[in-house]
Amino acid sequence: MRRFLTIVCVAAFQGCAPASGATQSALEPMGPASAELFRLIWFFTALSAVIWLAVIGVMITALVRRDRARADPLALDASRERRATGWVTVATGATAIVLIGLTLLSYFSNRTLAGIGADAALTIRITGHQWWWEIRYENEQPSRVLTTANEIHIPSGEPVRLVLASTDVIHSFWVPSLAGKLDLIPGHENVLELRADKPGVYRGQCAEFCGFQHAHMGIVIIAEPRAEFDAWLEHQLQPAPQPASGEEQAGHDLFMNRPCVMCHKIGGTTAGGIVGPNLTHVSSRTTLAAGTLPMDESSLAAWITDPQSIKPGAHMPVVDLGGDELRSIVAYLDRLK
Ligand code: CUA
């Protein structure tokens, strides 16, 4: 029985277990924001449990000690009435104190959360799309602004500021190991500040129903030591690698002459679409289609061939390609590390 209860509790709080060894659990806080919420939720849960037990105890006592039938049930006993009024007054007072106390605790937690990114050096703009995440690393120098998708690298041990917005419907950003959830709202910016105490891979999920493929809107935060993060950022800022073989060159030429360029940008080429994810270094990411497929050549081929069978309703159209053409485009995209 105890084991069953443990499983139920863990399942209720943890949600779906991530497939890739990434952490995704509000019960395993890995940063100050999630740790604060972790403390708060356990305090609320424990206090609520105590109050619930007290209420049930009083109810059972009342049932066990109920009065024998009296001759005149409507006759009032003055001393009993006084005692009852006393108890009700105490209970009302205790309820007010508990409510005020919990409100104050929430308030102080909110203050702690708001202070986490006070000296954040890194601002990342996250824009929700049906059904993927656009990630933009802000910088005063336009040449150092980086746009990528679905995977956020951050330096571990440093606070970062995430500015959240949306282009279509309301989404919600939730990486439970690192922070609470916050909505991405069209025409409005929300700010979420977090820090990953340790390097690691933290998975998240869109947490607001946003249409057909809401469930396939995963996100990953990869926290790494500062030097690794800097190296990653420098690499991502480079234009896309040049094709290295005849097949990759053929794939490049096809990409540039097909509708692909209408939606996708590949830095250093003529492809400049901004409707879909930026593909400059697409193969350096660990997943494809917002956490739906692992990133490899077979996933790329499957996705390009028939996106609707993998993510029905996704806005990626089918581009009519022959077998050789598909192989070339996959070879070229796989080159974009
Ligand atoms: Cu985006 Cu649910």
Would you say the CB of residue 336 lies under 6 angstroms from ligand 1?
A: no
Q: Report pLDDT for 3.
A: 54
Distance 227 CA to ligand 1 centre (A): 33
Distance 66 CA to ligand 1 centre (A): 54
**Helix, coil or strand: residue 123:** strand
Q: Residue 289: left if φ>0, alpha if ψ -120 to 50, beta else—which one?
A: left
- Do 246-335 and 122-236 fall under one CATH topology? yes
**CA of 210, closest atom in ligand 1:** 2
CATH architecture, range 122-236? Sandwich (2.60)
State the burial class of residue 78 (Cβ atoms within 10 Å of its Cβ: 0-12, 13-18, 19+): exposed
Which residue, 134, 139, 112, is CA-closest to 123? 139
Measured distance CA(121)–CA(105) in Å, rounded: 29
CA distances to 140, 150, 219, 268, 302 from 134, rounded to whole Å, are 19, 7, 10, 19, 22
Q: Report pLDDT for 19.
A: 47
From first to last of its 337 residues, what are the pLDDT tens digits of the chain?
A: 455 544 444 444 444 444 456 889 898 999 999 999 999 999 999 999 999 999 999 999 989 987 777 777 777 888 888 988 999 999 999 999 999 999 999 999 999 998 888 888 899 999 999 999 999 999 999 999 999 999 999 999 999 999 999 999 999 999 999 999 999 999 999 999 999 999 999 999 999 999 999 999 999 999 999 999 999 999 999 999 999 999 999 999 999 999 999 999 999 999 999 999 999 999 999 999 999 999 999 999 999 999 999 999 999 999 888 889 999 999 999 999 9
Distance 309 CA to ligand 1 centre (A): 19
Work out whether the CA dihedral 110, 111, 112, 116 comes out positive or negative.
positive
Would you say the CB of residue 204 lies under 6 angstroms from ligand 1?
A: no
Distance 218 CA to ligand 1 centre (A): 9
**CA of 184, closest atom in ligand 1:** 1
**CA of 211, closest atom in ligand 1:** 2
Give the β-pairing of 182-184 and 146-149.
unpaired
Distance 314 CA to ligand 1 centre (A): 12
Residue carrying the six token digits 């490049």: 252
Measured distance CA(156)–CA(138) in Å, rounded: 18
Would you say the CB of residue 277 lies under 6 angstroms from ligand 1?
A: no
Would you say the CB of residue 181 lies under 6 angstroms from ligand 1?
A: no
**CA of 214, closest atom in ligand 1:** 2
Q: Report pLDDT for 111.
A: 92
CA atoms within 13 A on the CB side of 78: 0
Distance 175 CA to ligand 1 centre (A): 13
Residue 131: cis peptide before it, omega within 30 degrees of 0: yes
- List the domain boundaries for the chain: 122-236, 246-335
Q: Which residues contact 129 (CB under 8 A, 6 or more apart)?
A: 166, 167, 168
Instruction: Return the number of other C-beta atoms located less than 10 Å from residue 318's C-beta.
Output: 11
**CA of 208, closest atom in ligand 1:** 2
Residue carrying the six token digits 């746009």: 147
Class of the domain covering 246-335: mainly beta
Would you say the CB of residue 134 lies under 6 angstroms from ligand 1?
A: no
Q: Report pLDDT for 70.
A: 73
Distance 206 CA to ligand 1 centre (A): 4
Residue nearest to atom 1 of ligand 1 (CA): 171
Measured distance CA(296)–CA(230) in Å, rounded: 25
Note the helical H segments in the chain.
2-14, 32-64, 78-115, 226-237, 246-257, 260-263, 297-305, 307-310, 323-335
Would you say the CB of residue 184 lies under 6 angstroms from ligand 1?
A: no
Beta bridge partners of residue 202, listed in sequence order: 23, 221
Would you say the CB of residue 128 lies under 6 angstroms from ligand 1?
A: yes
Q: Report pLDDT for 22.
A: 82
Distance 183 CA to ligand 1 centre (A): 10
Distance 111 CA to ligand 1 centre (A): 27
**Helix, coil or strand: residue 203:** strand
State the burial class of residue 11 (Cβ atoms within 10 Å of its Cβ: 0-12, 13-18, 19+): exposed
Would you say the CB of residue 208 lies under 6 angstroms from ligand 1?
A: yes
